[in-house]
Amino acid sequence: MPAWITQKDLELPINYRSAAQRTAERGFHTSFVHRASDDFYEVLGVKKDASAPEIKKAYYQLAKKYHPDANKDPGAKDKFLKIQEAYDTLSDASKRQSYDQYGSADPMEGMGGGPGAGFSGFGGMDDILSQMFGGAFSGRGGHGHGFTSQGEDIEASITLSFMEAVNGVQKTITITPVVHCEPCGGQGAKKGAKRKTCRTCRGTGQAMFKMGGFHVQQPCPECSGEGSSISSKDKCSACQGRGRVRERKTVPIDIPAGCDSGMRVKISDMGDVPADGHGPAGDLYVKVRVLPSKTFRRKGSDIYYDLQVPLTTAILGGTLRVPTVDGDVEVNIKPGVQPGDELRLRTKGVRKVNSTGRGDQYLNLNVKLPTELTSKQRELVEQLDAELTGKPRSDPAKESTESTESTDGSEQGTKEKDGFFSRIKKDFENFKKHDDK
């Protein structure tokens, strides 16, 4: 049993049947059924306590002697199959232990019903094992369905700028996949030389061995699944007879708009060809890495931008020019916006991959405060502060003068008040123009 297959893999649930039902189905009594084949130790001509190297040595000697291609005796083929079955069992520690204990490499086989008995209601063991191991099993002793080798997938990476990922771009990457050797056409032989049919698999490229009553089909170990071999002197010098080489290729790749870091772009059939046998090449997967932008931040298909709003625009409102991934746009700012407020520009984000939809752009408003003020600007701010908070002005003389003027009459006071706010608005507008410059 290969290392990748454990006895547990074959432990499937079975339907319960009574002893009478099992007897009726088998057509014979329920006592222990001994194997019809000869003792495996006697087949190989070794003792029961023989070591693994002794078993291997005996097997090679007998296999060479009774191989059907070397021995034309009518009974050589059956003898060779018995030798192969004995070695398959005794060369595997777990199967040998089971054989020593139950007289069979498969404990279920010695309990009656033959291989696969009791596995009813599941479409048969052939179907179950075919689903588990890709159709390489046959429970009736015949040839399995076989399988096609698949080349390995390969990976590469590519780095894009922020705007290249947003808009999509065509790039080229360099890869070195395994390909068929061009001078020998993947055959591994020099021009004019001929490959010899493998004597082990007789050109099929597949070898069969028995596992617990089931025949397992795998690539022939002698020819690596090729079905033929070639002598050393006739090997292709370019690939040393392997029929495979690594080739440097430049591959164009279309990056779709909206691609983001971590995404992978698949290019079919651009991976390695199968190392053994024949079959389609694997695929190429290109992992994308996107450099950050100095202007924007991205979350999925949405774009985020920090908009600096002048103090006067935050108070009085106005229009600001804002960058987007499609170019600059004019945005209206309402009077009285606060630091941290957020504006949303619909469909100004990134295009969604494999979709016609787009994300949005979000503007995070940061109110920009002046760091230095002229004396006039400071006076205006102090006047505004006094009006908004009701606090007295810092200059008592001016406050006294304004108080006296405001008591001269209601009409004069109202006129003075209107003039003050008009002056404040005018001065702030001038201050805004100066600040914008």
The confidence score (pLDDT) of residue 105 equals 57
Per-residue pLDDT, 437: 53
Please, which residues have CB within 8 angstroms of residue 326's CB and are 6 or more apart in sequence? 348
Q: Which helix (H) or strand (E) holds 165?
A: helix 162-167
111 burial level (CB within 10 Å; 0-12, 13-18, 19+): middle
**CB atoms inside a 10 Å sphere around CB 38:** 11
Measured between alpha carbons, how far is 403 from 381 in angstroms, rounded to an integer? Answer: 20
- Helix or strand (DSSP H, E) at 333: strand 329-333
Nearest to 251 by CA among 165, 152, 157, 175: 175
Looking at residue 201, what is its pLDDT?
84
Structure-model confidence comparison of residues 118 and 51, the more confident one? 51
On the 0-12 / 13-18 / 19+ scale of CB atoms within 10 A, 200 is middle
Any bridge partners for residue 137, and if so which?
Answer: 216
Q: Name the residue with higher pLDDT: 213 or 176.
A: 176
206 pLDDT band, cuts 50/70/90, is confident
What was the pLDDT predicted at 16? Answer: 37
Give the per-residue pLDDT at 393.
Answer: 65
Q: Give the span between the Cα atoms of 303 and 325, in whole angstroms.
A: 9
Which candidate, 297, 267, 302, 300, places its Cα nearest to that of 285? 267
For residue 105 the two structure tokens come to 């490499």
Nearest Cα to 2, choosing from 131, 102, 95?
95
Q: Which amino acid is at 14?
A: I
Would the CA dihedral through 162, 166, 170, 174 be positive or negative? positive
Buried b (16+ CB within 10 A) or exposed e, 10-31: beeeeeeeeeeeeeeeeeeeee
Report whether pLDDT(412) > 80.
Answer: no
- For residue 282, the model assigns a pLDDT of 94
Say if residue 157's pLDDT is above 80: yes
Helices (H) and strands (E) in the chain, counts: 11, 18
Which structure tokens are listed for 346? 């619909």
Give whichever of 202-216, 321-335, 376-390 has the largest mean pLDDT: 321-335
Residue entry with tokens 């990134």: 350
Cα–Cα distance for residue pair 154/265, rounded to 1 Å: 12
Give the separation between CA 125 and CA 137, rounded to whole angstroms.
Answer: 9
pLDDT of residue 98: 78
SS3 265: strand
Question: Which band of pLDDT confidence, cut at 50, 70 and 90, is reported for residue 123?
Answer: very low
**Strand, coil or helix: 157:** strand
